[in-house]
């Protein structure tokens, strides 16, 4: 649908020349400010267990869709960048990539905070598997999968104890769904009516083991038995948003609920896993073509004429630049000599010490430590005084 384009930055409400003749004809409005509600249907209906499925029609807006697009593109770009950084040995340890599954994160954030979403955890010493941000209510990623489910239920318990009227989302994968802790925590949450939402991100592979080889019952949303569940197309950000909103309301009234997000990851489980020894490349490219979350939003945006192809490409370029800049900054910070740092960028990073100092090894072991000294391994060199 070709529509004339208004170059002014004011919204098209200021123009009376073109009016929509049918709902299909939409005036193109500037990307960032249009919040007129749009109703879009999710790709597939929800499947419910022991509860009423929410409706397939999702209320959204141009602004929201474009925010989704941008956020998902940013995530995708970040994951790819992490991939190359890991291969360049700038990121060590484990690196678990999330590309393909962006819709789950983005949709969930939209349902709960309506804000963008940041990982910002520079003060922690946990590495890639242990990010936390107390201020945003992000209680962390955990290395031993399944252990975070009782933690999440504990958070929900504290919310109920303090009568906060808030909910907790505890996320785990299809691999971790076979952990006993999950069922123990579900039992307790259902007994005590805790506002806990357990989200199973089912990407069909637990590291290298396919779902059908690990789980007798692949219907993870039904595993709660007496706890209601909902199966959601995890590649559709709008479906995820709808489901999370529904779950939030449900959990506050009726106690725990399980959401199963049917999603897919393109990369292997971690960087040492090529991802193709236990599945075919055709499968991966098939999903990428048919169900990719970013492509879906792109098609929606284009078909509803909310932005042009070029504008979307511009967003992607902008996102790429943002990620590249962030990486460059991080690289600069990781250079330990001040001189080198200053010469690379010419900016004042010299006052920061990006690589942790040796004494930081011992900070935060206890909340209130014993003021003792810490020695190096030969017990001759004093490393520092513990707080």
Whole-number minimum distance, CB 150 to other proteins, in Å? Answer: 3
Interface pick for other proteins out of 317, 318, 364, 376 (rule CB under 8 A) = 364
Whole-number minimum distance, CB 214 to other proteins, in Å? Answer: 20
157 lines the binding site for other proteins (CB under 8 A): yes
Interface pick for other proteins out of 150, 175, 234, 293 (rule CB under 8 A) = 150
Tokens (6 digits) for 307: 């932005």
Tokens (6 digits) for 339: 């001189």
Residues 117/72, Cβ–Cβ less than 8 Å: no
* Site size for other proteins (CB under 8 A): 55
181 lines the binding site for other proteins (CB under 8 A): yes
175 lines the binding site for other proteins (CB under 8 A): no
CA distance 142 to 196: 18
380 lines the binding site for other proteins (CB under 8 A): no
Interface pick for other proteins out of 26, 38, 155, 232 (rule CB under 8 A) = 155
Whole-number minimum distance, CB 84 to other proteins, in Å? Answer: 26
Closest CA to 313 of 79, 29, 73: 73
93 lines the binding site for other proteins (CB under 8 A): no
Closest CA to 315 of 327, 304, 323: 323
Whole-number minimum distance, CB 354 to other proteins, in Å? Answer: 14
Query: Is the Cβ of residue 183 or residue 278 nearer to other proteins in the bound state?
Result: 183
385 lines the binding site for other proteins (CB under 8 A): yes
Whole-number minimum distance, CB 42 to other proteins, in Å? Answer: 32
224 lines the binding site for other proteins (CB under 8 A): no
Query: Is the Cβ of residue 275 or residue 387 nearer to other proteins in the bound state?
Result: 387
Report the DSSP beta bridge partners of residue 60.
Answer: 38
CA distance 286 to 326: 32
Interface pick for other proteins out of 5, 19, 89, 134 (rule CB under 8 A) = 134
Query: Is the Cβ of residue 37 or residue 371 nearer to other proteins in the bound state?
Result: 371
CA distance 159 to 131: 22
363 lines the binding site for other proteins (CB under 8 A): yes
Interface pick for other proteins out of 35, 57, 84, 123 (rule CB under 8 A) = 123
Give the residues lining the site for other proteins (CB under 8 A).
Answer: 121-127, 130, 132-134, 139-140, 142-144, 147, 149-162, 180-181, 184-185, 187-188, 191-192, 363-375, 379, 385-386
């Amino acid at each position: 649908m070709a529509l004339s384009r208004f170059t002014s930055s004011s919204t098209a409400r200021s123009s009376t020349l073109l009016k929509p003749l049918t709902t299909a004809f939409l005036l193109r409005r500037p990307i960032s400010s249009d919040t007129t509600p749009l109703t879009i249907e999710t790709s597939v209906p929800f499947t419910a267990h022991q509860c009423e499925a929410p409706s397939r029609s999702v209320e959204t807006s141009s602004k929201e869709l474009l925010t989704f697009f941008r956020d998902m593109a940013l995530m995708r770009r970040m994951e790819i960048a992490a991939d190359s950084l890991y291969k360049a040995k700038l990121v060590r340890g484990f690196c678990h990539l999330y590309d393909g599954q962006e819709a789950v994160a983005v949709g969930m954030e939209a349902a709960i905070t309506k804000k963008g979403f940041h990982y910002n955890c520079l003060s922690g010493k946990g590495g890639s598997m242990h990010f936390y941000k107390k201020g945003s209510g992000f209680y962390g990623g955990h290395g031993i999968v399944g252990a975070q489910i009782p933690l999440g239920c504990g958070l929900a318990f504290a919310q109920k104890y303090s009568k906060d009227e808030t909910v907790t989302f505890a996320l785990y994968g299809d691999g971790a769904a076979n952990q006993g802790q999950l069922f123990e925590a579900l039992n307790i949450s259902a007994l005590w009516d805790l506002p806990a939402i357990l989200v199973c991100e089912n990407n069909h592979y637990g590291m290298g083991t396919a779902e059908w080889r690990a789980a007798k019952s692949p219907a993870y949303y039904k595993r709660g038995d007496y706890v209601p569940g909902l199966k959601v197309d995890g590649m559709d950000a709008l479906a995820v948003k709808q489901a999370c909103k529904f779950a939030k309301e449900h959990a506050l009234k009726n106690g725990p609920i399980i959401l199963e997000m049917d999603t897919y990851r393109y990369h292997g489980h971690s960087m040492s896993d090529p991802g193709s020894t236990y599945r075919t490349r055709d499968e991966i490219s098939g999903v990428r073509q048919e169900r990719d979350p970013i492509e879906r939003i792109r098609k929606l945006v284009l078909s509803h004429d909310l932005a042009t192809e070029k504008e979307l490409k511009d967003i992607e370029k902008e996102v790429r630049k943002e990620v590249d800049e962030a990486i460059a900054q991080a690289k600069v910070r990781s250079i330990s000599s001040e001189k080198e740092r200053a010469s690379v960028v010419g900016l004042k990073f010299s006052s920061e010490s990006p690589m942790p100092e040796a004494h930081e090894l011992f900070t935060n072991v206890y909340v209130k430590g014993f003021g003792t000294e810490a020695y190096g391994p030969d017990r001759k060199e004093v490393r520092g005084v513990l707080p």
